[in-house]
């Protein structure tokens, strides 16, 4: 057992930090009676009994530990309560090699996918993929800005988060998107809301800019040999209201019914940004929409999230049975129905302080979900062939 100094310091351990780096014992004992203190490397572990509900204990003590550079959690093992404080390290530690390697791989996979949107054959001429750099720049730009929105706001609220991890996958667009890993707890609803909303809003601005640029670039012409090939596969993209509005506003065609022409692949990169924005704003678990709605509606978010998978399964059933779309076409909503079921079951992020949001943030949240609806398309991709 450690000797506890009631003036605020305990016996130092062997790690890089000591017990005296934590909050004064008297401050801790205002809501948590301490009968033993131990140091495990850089972790400080306080054994004791909570004097209030665990949520209130953490609401009182978490800010005190955070001021000292620790992230604290209250755990219970075999009927014994432990207040565990681990040092936080906000920011980048060393060279993020994993992020860099994944980013480079995603450049390669999106160049390969983009070359086909430019009607190039990367198998016949591998060097041709470099001509697809505008598509790669568009898609990585909108995804990167989205994730950096989360990252910058995480740093603002001093919540530990990783740099974006891009996910290279050999799909029609060459990637499954990008994510950041949140390693710190949310101090309050404002931080939860700001971090959640920053990605979609930043990504929305980037998507609009990329869309406008792409709409003014020359269309892609489909070679006559491809048009006459009976084995050719036609890929039809659904256009969300946002893309329709921007095309109409700038008086640019979308070549919807012209098999010989298609929009410039930069527009397809922006289309990816719109799809990602909608999917991220689905209000379940720890998706962006789940963060935003949890901050806005509190625990009611979990009730709403429980309904979402059923809505997605119903959408898939409607398109398949009543609109006669193929199973491949509606599979995206079946997969997202399964995914949102799993994500919802894990629950949303819970802030330490759970006070209500102000009116301004609430209105911004409603507007952000409105942006999500502008990016919704019932049939994102239809493959005909």
- Domain membership flag for residue 14: no
Decide which of 56, 87, 118 is a domain's last residue: 87
Number of domains in the chain: 2
Clarify whether residues 284 and 365 are in a common domain: yes
- Domain membership flag for residue 13: no
- Domain membership flag for residue 5: no
- Domain membership flag for residue 67: yes
Q: What is the pLDDT of residue 184?
A: 72
Burial of 83 (0-12, 13-18, 19+ CB in 10 A): buried
- Give the position of tokens 């720890």: 286
Range of the domain at 213: 97-384
Clarify whether residues 79 and 112 are in a common domain: no
Clarify whether residues 139 and 258 are in a common domain: yes
Q: Which of 152, 155, 175 has the alpha carbon at shortest distance from 165? A: 175
Clarify whether residues 37 and 177 are in a common domain: no
- Provide mean pLDDT across the span 252-257: 87
Decide which of 60, 87, 114 is a domain's last residue: 87
258 three-class SS: coil
Clarify whether residues 74 and 203 are in a common domain: no
Q: What is the pLDDT of residue 16?
A: 54
User: What does the pLDDT look like over 103-162, one tens digit per residue?
Assistant: 999 999 999 999 999 999 888 888 889 999 999 999 999 999 999 999 999 999 988 888
Clarify whether residues 113 and 57 are in a common domain: no
Q: Is the pLDDT of residue 14 over 60?
A: no
Clarify whether residues 163 and 223 are in a common domain: yes
**Residue 57's CATH number:** 3.90.1070
Decide which of 87, 121, 142 is a domain's last residue: 87
User: What does the pLDDT look like over 259-308, one tens digit per residue?
Assistant: 778 899 999 999 999 999 999 999 999 999 999 999 999 999 999 999 99
Q: Is the pLDDT of residue 6 over 70?
A: no
User: What does the pLDDT look like over 47-57, one tens digit per residue?
Assistant: 999 998 888 88
Q: Give dist(CA 89, CA 161) in Å, integer.
A: 10
Q: Is the pLDDT of residue 13 over 50?
A: no
High-pLDDT (> 70) share of the chain, %: 94
Clarify whether residues 43 and 154 are in a common domain: no
Clarify whether residues 209 and 63 are in a common domain: no
- Considering Cα of 95, then 98, then 102, then 104, what sign does the dihedral take? positive
Q: Is the pLDDT of residue 226 over 70?
A: yes
Clarify whether residues 52 and 192 are in a common domain: no
- Domain membership flag for residue 12: no
- Domain membership flag for residue 10: no
What is the helix (H) or strand (E) element at residue 40, kind and residue range? Answer: strand 32-40
- Give the position of tokens 């980037």: 206
158: which DSSP letter?
Answer: T
- Domain membership flag for residue 350: yes
User: Hey, how many other C-beta atoms are within 10 angstroms of the C-beta on 252?
Assistant: 19
Q: Is the pLDDT of residue 90 over 80?
A: no
Whole-structure pTM value: 0.86
Q: Which of 360, 356, 354, 376 has the alpha carbon at shortest distance from 281? A: 376
- Domain membership flag for residue 62: yes
* Cβ-contact 277, 207 below 8 angstroms: yes
- Provide mean pLDDT across the span 232-242: 89
Kindly state the greatest CA–CA separation across the chain.
86
DSSP class per residue in 106-147: HHHHHHHHHHHHTT--TTT-GGGGGGGHHHHHHHHHHHHHHH
Clarify whether residues 83 and 105 are in a common domain: no
166: which DSSP letter?
Answer: E
pLDDT: which is higher, 107 or 347: 107
What is the helix (H) or strand (E) element at residue 175, kind and residue range? Answer: strand 175-179
């Amino acid at each position: 057992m450690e000797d506890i100094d009631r003036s605020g310091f305990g016996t130092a351990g062997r790690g890089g930090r000591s017990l005296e780096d934590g909050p004064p014992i008297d401050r801790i004992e205002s809501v948590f009676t301490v009968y033993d203190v131990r140091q495990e490397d850089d972790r400080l572990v306080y054994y004791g009994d909570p004097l209030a509900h665990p949520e209130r204990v953490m609401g009182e003590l978490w800010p005190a530990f955070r001021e000292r550079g620790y992230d604290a959690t209250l755990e219970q093992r075999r009927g014994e309560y432990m207040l565990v404080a681990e040092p936080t390290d906000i920011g980048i530690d060393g060279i993020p090699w994993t992020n860099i390697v994944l980013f480079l791989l995603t450049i390669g996979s999106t160049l390969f996918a983009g070359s086909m949107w430019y009607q190039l054959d990367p198998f016949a001429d591998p060097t041709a993929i470099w001509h697809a750099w505008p598509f790669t720049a568009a898609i990585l730009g909108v995804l990167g800005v989205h994730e950096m929105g989360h990252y910058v706001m995480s740093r603002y609220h001093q919540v530990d988060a990783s740099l974006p991890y891009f996910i290279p996958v050999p799909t029609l667009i060459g990637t499954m998107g990008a994510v950041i890993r949140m390693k710190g707890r949310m101090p309050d609803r404002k931080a939860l809301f700001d971090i959640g909303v920053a990605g979609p809003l930043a990504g929305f601005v980037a998507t609009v800019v990329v869309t406008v640029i792409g709409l003014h670039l020359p269309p892609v012409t489909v070679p006559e040999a491809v048009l006459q090939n009976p084995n050719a596969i036609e890929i039809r993209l659904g256009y969300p209201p946002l893309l329709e509005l921007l095309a109409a506003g700038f008086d640019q065609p979308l070549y919807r019914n012209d098999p010989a022409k298609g929009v410039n692949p930069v527009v397809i990169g922006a289309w990816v940004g719109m799809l990602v924005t909608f999917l991220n704003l689905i209000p379940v678990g720890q998706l962006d929409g789940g963060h935003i709605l949890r901050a806005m509606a509190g625990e009611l978010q979990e009730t709403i999230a429980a309904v979402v998978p059923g809505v997605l399964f119903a959408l898939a059933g409607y398109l398949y049975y009543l609109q006669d779309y193929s199973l491949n076409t509606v599979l995206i909503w079946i997969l997202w129905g399964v995914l949102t079921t799993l994500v919802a079951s894990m629950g949303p992020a819970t802030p330490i302080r759970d006070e209500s949001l102000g009116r301004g943030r609430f209105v911004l949240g409603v507007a952000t979900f409105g942006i999500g609806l502008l990016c919704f398309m019932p049939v994102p991709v239809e493959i005909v062939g």
